[in-house]
Amino acid sequence: MNEKKKPCSCVSCDFRAVVFTYLEDTTIEELCDHKEEQFFRKGEIINHEGEKITNFKYLKSGLVKLYRRTSDGDEQVITITRPFEFVSNMSIFSEERYQYSVSALEDSVVCMVNLEFIKGLFLKNGGFAFSLLSKISRISDKIIAQTLDIRQKNLIGRVAFVLLYFTNDIYKSRVFDLPVSRKEIADYIGMSTANVIRTLSDFKKEGIIRVFGKTIEVVDVGKLEIISRHG
């Protein structure tokens, strides 16, 4: 017995407004035949550095980190990405293999579209090509800006920056479960784990934050902003 074809979720997907606005409904329906959604549990690898690129990927829900391994085997966390941003797509038109690894910091859903289909759309639809490249460029610019911003700060300024990033950009809340370990924060800001632990402890003693296990409450956002700006 023939299975009934599932309705195309891409037609009403929120992500369509982010990048697929230049595509007609018929093309969106065709896209459905070239894409799949995949669920990743917290801690699972979405793609490995050096793995062959076969799909265009974007994060539909959840939270992921983009990183690479050093020659010593340590992680260098490049950025933390929220929904509707691209997952390791910076190299899809210039490289055959991923230059970075991506793993889930929370349970996440990633939408994967066949890369050859995306390349075909590029050749046929200039508006779509310009829109997608613009979005990828903005993500790249954000990563560069964050990296430069962090490097200009001292230790306490870097930790404050990360806490504000989770507060203002990722969760948009003063209370959140910290999705990364102290070591991952240290890898992200280029400091030792011990220094990160000590700084968070100092923030707690000064009443800037409250800590309940993995839950962080930012009590004094203003003070944290001053530390981040001048630290």
Q: Is 0.85 surpassed by the pTM of this model? A: no
Helix residue spans in the chain (DSSP H): 16-19, 25-32, 115-124, 126-151, 155-164, 182-189, 193-205, 221-230
pLDDT for residue 9: 58
pLDDT for residue 2: 37
CB 34 within 8 A of CB 81: no
The two tokens of residue 154 are 């001292």
Mean pLDDT in residue range 189-209 = 95
Count of residues in the chain:
231
pLDDT for residue 83: 77
Between 93 and 207, the higher pLDDT residue: 207
- pLDDT single digits (tens) 24-52: 777 777 777 888 889 999 999 999 999 99
> Does the pLDDT of residue 8 top 80, yes or no?
no
- What is the CATH code of the structural domain delimited by 153-230? 1.10.10.10
Domain boundaries, the chain: 10-149, 153-230
- What is the CATH code of the structural domain delimited by 10-149? 2.60.120.10
Q: What percentage of the chain exceeds 90 in pLDDT?
A: 45
Between 119 and 23, the higher pLDDT residue: 119
pLDDT for residue 231: 74
Query: What's the one-letter identity of residue 176?
Result: F
Mean pLDDT in residue range 54-67 = 89
CB 93 within 8 A of CB 140: no
> Does the pLDDT of residue 133 top 90, yes or no?
no
**Strand pairing category for 75-81 and 101-104:** unpaired
pLDDT for residue 230: 85
- pLDDT single digits (tens) 71-98: 887 888 988 888 777 766 667 778 889 8
Q: Work out the mean pLDDT of the chain and round it to a whole number.
A: 85
Sorted by sequence, the CB contacts under 8 Å of residue 103 that are 6+ apart come out as 43, 44, 45, 46, 64, 65, 67
CB 84 within 8 A of CB 62: no
Helices 221-230 and 155-164 pack at an angle, to 10 degrees, of: 130
| Residue 76 phi, psi dihedral angles, 5° rounding | -115, 105
| DSSP 8-class letter at 56 | E
